[in-house]
Amino acid sequence: MGRSAADGSVKAVAAELGTTATDARAQLAQGVFLTAEQVASADWPGTDGNPGKLLSYVTDTGRFLAGRQQIDAAPSEDAVRKAFYLKGLPDVLK
């Protein structure tokens, strides 16, 4: 992402969250921003019976939100795995 695009994103996030540009930049730095190729790869969403990196990101986010008491409880990794429907997904995303 170019400097002007990053600055625009920081301003937009800061305005949306009602926070400072410094805080918004720090929050954006924690994010994972994927290219179209990464989104369509088996590495991220996964394949039928074999979830990719997205499984751990969703599971970790659930634990984080539960720890902050923003949700009642984090779903187990098994529950998240069962919620993913991945059959044929990488082929559909190409």
Q: List pLDDT tens digits, range 24-78.
A: 888 888 887 888 888 878 888 888 888 889 999 999 999 999 999 999 999 999 9
Q: How many CA atoms lie within 13 A of 17 on its CB side?
A: 16
Q: Is the overall model pTM greater than 0.75, yes or no? A: no
- Is residue 5 predicted with pLDDT exceeding 80? no
All structural domains of the chain with their residue ranges: 1-31, 34-94
Residue indicated by tokens 């539960």: 66
Q: Residue 74: which of 64, 84, 82 has the closest Cα?
A: 64
Identify the helix (H) or strand (E) that includes residue 78: helix 77-83
- Is residue 90 predicted with pLDDT exceeding 60? no
Q: Are 19 and 38 in contact (CB under 8 A)?
A: no
How far apart CA 78 and CA 76 sit, in angstroms, is 5
